[in-house]
Amino acid sequence: MKDLLVMAQIAGRRCAFNAHDVQSVIELGAVTPVPGTPDHIAGITALRSQALTVIDSRSALGFESSQWEIDDRAIVIAVQGHSYALKVDAIEDITTGVTDPGKVPGGFGAEWSRVAKGMIETMSGPALLLDLVRLINPSDDLGVAA
């Protein structure tokens, strides 16, 4: 795998996103809560007059949202015609994958196994390659966005 990857930290773990899935990295401005939405949806924000659903990645994984310090930036993605801003702990770098995704080692827990495509070796070290559909839809066992 020689794909470019966007590296980030979520809940204390190094995570990788395929760069072709990432539209941009933005400074996250005001987030407006939306009543009645699941806990992992922090609210909505705007990017150049486009509404983005803001996903709290830690909460989507089942972790306490306030346990780690958070970056003011977010990763913007589009999944099945909908745009999302993923709140992460930190955005590290862009790097290249050097191996294909392998099995997620034991000890990571069900939270990570549910959203990880696998463990990948990158030019900057190992990381979990994440499945974006499963991350934004934590209650969807089939991995299909609503």
Give the model confidence (pLDDT) of 24-34 as tens digits.
999 998 999 99
Residue 113 lies in a domain: yes
Cβ neighbour number for residue 8 with a 10 Å cutoff:
26
Residue 145 lies in a domain: no
Residue 8 lies in a domain: yes
Kindly write down the DSSP assignment for every residue of the chain, as one continuous string. Answer: ---EEEEEEETTEEEEEEGGGEEEEEE----B--TT--TTEEEEEEETTEEEEEEEHHHHHT--TTSS---SEEEEEEETTEEEEEE-SEEEEEEEB-S--BPPPTTS-HHHHHHEEEEEEETTEEEEEE-HHHHH-TT-TT----
Residue 43 lies in a domain: yes
Mean pLDDT of the chain: 88
CATH number at residue 129: 2.40.50.180
Residue 146 lies in a domain: no
Residue 65 lies in a domain: yes
Residue 17 lies in a domain: yes
Task: For residue 115, give the nearest of 4, 13, 28 by alpha carbon.
Answer: 13
Residue 142 lies in a domain: no
Residue-range definition of the domain harbouring residue 104: 4-136
Q: How many domains does the chain have?
A: 1
Which residues are bridge partners to 84 per DSSP? 53, 77
Give the model confidence (pLDDT) of 52-89 as tens digits.
999 999 999 998 866 667 788 999 998 988 999 999 99
Q: Both tokens of residue 44? A: 């909505």
Q: Label residue 106 by pLDDT band (50, 70, 90).
A: confident
pLDDT value of position 89: 92
C-alpha distance from residue 138 to each of 4, 25, 112, 115, 123 (Å): 25, 22, 11, 8, 29
Q: Label residue 146 by pLDDT band (50, 70, 90).
A: very low
Mean pLDDT of 93-114: 89
